[in-house]
Chains A and B, each alone.
Chain A
Amino acid sequence: MRSRFVQGRGVGIGLPAMLVTRRELWEQLVYDVTGGLAIAACVGSLLLIVAHLRHFSNPRQQKLIVRLLLMVPIYAIDSFFSLRWREVTCGSRVAPFSR
């Protein structure tokens, strides 16, 4: 089971992954919940960013606001990736730069 997982099979989000990899249920649940939250956060803040960019009446302020809003997708995506592919980011099994 471990070796299959390390090979990186499975999509990560959604039920189809359960058919491909044999993970424990709670692990899959963690991936699904985290991925869902991350996607929702990204979509929400991207909509707000587009709204700001459409009504760009005060560039000096709104430029900075958009940059601050970009933080949410960056953090959400990074956290989800490092949770989902944790053996890579943790460096416990696969050290970075090993290839």
Chain B
Amino acid sequence: MWFPGCPVFALTIAQVAPYLNVARDAYEGYALWCFFALLLAYVEGESGDCGLLLARKPPVRHPLPLCFLPPVQAGPVFVLWTKRVVLQFAIIKPLVAVLSLVLQPLGLLGEQNFSPTRAYLYFTIITNVSVFFALWFLVLFYLAARDELKRFSPVGKFLAIKSILFFTFWQQMLISVLNHYEVLTGIGAWTQREFSVGLQDFAICVEMFLLSIVHIFVFEFQSYVQPVSAVLDTRFVAWQMFRPVVRNFAATVSQRDVLSQAREVLRRDASMTARKQQDALLSGSEDDGDGKQT
């Protein structure tokens, strides 16, 4: 397939390439959800419910640009809405990607062209708003659960993920703005458009290389290493080392946990249940607080 000039490879790429871009965009939303789920897993630890854990905390004040908004009481309702808002981004992002793929050959997309008669402008606005809300709720969640998350150094992980998501995002914005004002020009055999997209791809490749190094320290595996309990059989050593890797990878690829969480979050009565939980908890904790204060 890699044979020079082999038409099969070029054709395969030609068919796969547009979908690869969609897959990348879709994975962006999915990754943000996974990051939030990881934070939840850290907070909850071995057992316990995140909402109940956070309900005992004082209300969270919004950070600077929106500090005029009333403080939010962390608790089951807040956690449910954070889940919903992050999930909303994980749904909208792939949806926009698929719609762009459909609209582009119809000539309705107008990529990197902020014309009101083309879809790209509206897609950009929708994605921006969606990203903003998802990120804002993540920040609020982090502020609420700061103490629980402290020993997992979430800020490094946040930046490691955020830098992928938002470098690419702002790069794209910057390049399309530069393109709009026709700052970038074609070079050699490359058209202006190819050059601007290629610039972005090049930047992403460099960033991915740097991030793969950063990840070795941020998502280190050493803390998960446990003393070897079973001595490997001397026969088939490679297979015995290889088998758990395959099994665990299958467990990772399986999306059952994500789907069940999403179903739980999107259920109609989820809001009611959370509200009830929070009310019960607040009335209980208020009594406790009074008891301690007096």
Given A82-B20, A89-B18, answer yes or no on A74-B224 (Cβ-Cβ < 8 Å).
no
B252 in the interface (beta carbon within 8 A):
yes
Q: How far is the CA of A63 from the CA of B191 in the complex (A)?
A: 42
Interface centre among A8, A17, A75 (most CB of B within 10 A): A75
Q: Chain A 45-71 against B: per-residue CB contact (8 Å), 1 yes, 0 no?
A: 100101111111111111111111111
**Is A79 in contact with B10, judged by CB distance below 8 angstroms?**
no
Task: Assign chain A's interface to a size class.
Answer: 35 or more
Tell whether B193 is near chain A: CB-to-CB under 8 Å: yes
A91→B104 contact, CB < 8 A:
yes
Interface status of B135 (Cβ within 8 A of chain A): no
Query: What residue of chain A has the Cβ atom nearest to residue B18's Cβ?
Result: A96
Complexed CA–CA distance, A10 and B3 (Å): 8
Residue-by-residue, is A16-29 near B (CB-CB < 8 Å gives 1, otherwise 0)? 11001000101100
Interface of B is mostly: helix
Check A79–B201 contact: CB distance below 8 A.
yes
Asked whether B281 is an interface residue with its Cβ less than 8 Å from the other chain, the reply is no
Using a Cβ–Cβ cut-off of 8 Å, how many residues does chain B contribute to the interface with A? 64
Complex Cα distance A63/B204, Å? Answer: 25
**Which residues does A use to contact B, with CB under 8 Å?**
1-2, 5, 7-11, 16-17, 20, 24, 26-27, 30, 34, 37-38, 40-42, 44-45, 48, 50-72, 74-83, 85-92, 94-99
- A78 smallest CB distance to B (angstroms): 4
Count of inter-chain pairs, beta carbons less than 8 A: 205
CB-CB under 8 A for A55 and B226, given A5-B189, A80-B201: yes
Q: A44-B212, A79-B208 are in contact. Are A87 and B194 (CB under 8 A)?
A: yes
Which residue of the partner chain A has the closest CB to B4?
A: A20
Cross-chain contact B13 with A90 (CB below 8 angstroms): no
Shortest beta-carbon distance, B268 to chain A, in Å?
27
- Main secondary structure on A side of the interface with B: helix
Residues of B within 8 A of A (CB): 2, 4-5, 7, 9-10, 13-14, 16-18, 20-21, 23-24, 27, 30-31, 34-35, 37-38, 41-42, 101, 104-105, 161, 164, 168, 188-191, 193-194, 197-198, 200-202, 204-206, 208-209, 211-213, 215-216, 219, 221, 224-226, 241, 244-245, 248-249, 251-252, 257
Report A-chain residues with C-beta under 8 Å of the C-beta of B2.
Answer: 11
Report whether A34 and B201 are in contact in the complex, using a CB–CB cutoff of 8 Å.
yes
Given contacts A61-B42, A86-B194, contact A34 B202 (CB under 8 A): yes
Q: How close is B109's CB to chain A, nearest CB, in angstroms?
A: 9
Chain B residues whose C-beta falls within 8 Å of the C-beta of A5 in the assembled complex: 189
Q: For the complex, what is the distance from the CA of A81 to the CA of B272, rounded to whole Å?
A: 48
A-B residue pairs in contact (CB < 8 Å), sample of 30: A8-B7, A9-B4, A9-B5, A11-B4, A20-B5, A26-B188, A27-B188, A27-B189, A34-B202, A38-B208, A44-B216, A45-B215, A48-B216, A48-B221, A52-B219, A53-B244, A53-B252, A62-B224, A62-B248, A64-B38, A66-B252, A70-B27, A71-B161, A72-B212, A74-B23, A85-B13, A86-B197, A88-B14, A88-B17, A96-B18
